[in-house]
Amino acid sequence: MIPARKIMYEVSTSLRQYLYRFDRLRDVPNIYPDLVRFTGAIPYEDTRGHETLWLTVMYPPEVIDDLRRGLIRIYSELKIGRDAAAQEHEHLMVDRIDYGDFGNSKPFRIRVTNLFNDNSDYFYVKQADASRIYGLELEHILSPNRINYIINGNTLIEEHIAGVPGDMFMRDYLNNPALNKVRIAKEFTKFTERSFIRLLGDMRSVNYVVDITPDFEEVQYRVRPIDFDQQSYEGNGNIYLAFRFNSNRPVTRLAFEVLNRKSIDQYVNEEHAQMARRAKVESTRLRTLLGIMRRDTIAPDAHVRRLALDLNRMHGTTDFSDCSSMGELTAEHISLMLGV
C-alpha cells in the first residue's frame, strides 16, 4: 500500500525551539554518525533461532570503548535526566548493538545490562526526522501513553516501548482459548480510531505492540505504536486506517465477529471523548506544536493535495480543500473529529 520509502525531512529551527521549550533537546553525544561506521555484522536471531531483520554489528576495539561511554551517557540522560552526569555508572554495560536497515530512520538498538543483577534494557538511536518527531509528540499529547525521547543534532534517542509485536501477537496469542476476545477487539478499535484522528499512517502489524497487563479478574490490553515515520506523510487516506492493512485482517475479523455496531460506535465515541480531554489539558502544547507543523514541510505537495481530497470524501465535507500543508490537514482533522 505504501509505494516507496519516505523522504526524510530536517528538523526546522522552529521545531527545535519547541523541543528546547519542552525539554526534549539535550546535550548528549551526537552519536549516530559514529554508529554507522561498524566493520562487521551478523544476523540477529530471536529466541526460537530464527533470523530477524536486525543485524548485530561490530566495531574495532579502539572505537567500541568510546562508543560505549557515549551510549551509557545517553542512556543515563534518557532514564535519569540532567543529574546523570554527576553520577557514576560503572555497573552499566553496553553488551550488544543491533542495526536495522529496514526502516526509514535506519535505527540502532542498544542493549544495556546492569552488572549487579543482569537485568537488560534497550533504547534506540535513529536519524532525526521531522515527521517522526511530530508523531512522537502527538502520541505523547493525545494518547494514553507517555513517550520518552531526546534529541541532539541529527541524533534521535528513543526509549524502548515494551510489548508483544503485533505480528507475533496474532501468531501466538490470537487463537489462545484464554484470550479475552472482546477486550482485544475493543482496544484495537480504539487504537485504529486514535491513529486515524491524528493521521498516523502505516500501522501494519510490525509497527505496533500489544501491552498485556494482568488485572484482578481479567487481562487488560493496550495497543501502542512503535513506528512514527508515517505521521502525516502519505497522500492515500487508507494508509491511516489500520484495519485496511492485510497483516491486521485476523484482528479486524475478530473485532467484527465479537462486537456489534453499537459496541463499536460506543468505543469510538469513548476514544473521541478521551482524546478531546487530553487535547484540552495540553491545549497550549498542542496548539504550539500544530502551529509549527502547519508551517513546516513534511510531505510532498502531491501528497497534501491527494490527502485533502481523500479526507473530504471520507467525511463528506470540503473543509480540507484550502489546506496547503500536512500540518494544516492534521490540525483540521483533529479539530473536526474532536471538536477542539
- pLDDT tens-place string over residues 131-146: 999 999 999 999 999 9
Q: Nearest-5° angle of CA 331, CA 337, CA 340?
A: 60
What's the whole-number mean pLDDT along residues 169-185? 94
pLDDT of residue 49: 81
> What's the pLDDT band for 86 if we cut at 50, 70, 90?
low
Count Cα neighbours of 310 within 13 Å in the Cβ-side half-sphere: 17
- Predicted model pTM: 0.95
Share of the chain above pLDDT 90, in %: 87
Least confident of 101-105, 146-150, 240-244, 296-300: 101-105
**CB–CB of 52/45 below 8 Å?**
yes
Q: Alpha helix locations (H) across 149-299?
A: 166-172, 181-197, 249-258, 261-281, 283-295
Cα 233-246-276 angle, rounded to 5 deg: 50
Say what the pLDDT of residue 262 is. 97
Here the cell at position 91 is 555497573
- Chain segment 207-223, per-residue pLDDT in tens: 999 999 988 888 899 99
- pLDDT of 82 higher than 80: no
Q: Where are the chain's structural domains?
A: 13-159, 164-338
Q: Please state the φ and ψ torsions of residue 51, each to the nearest 5 degrees.
A: -65, 145
Model pLDDT for residues 236-294, shown as the tens digit of each residue: 999 999 999 999 999 999 999 999 999 999 999 999 999 999 999 999 999 999 999 99
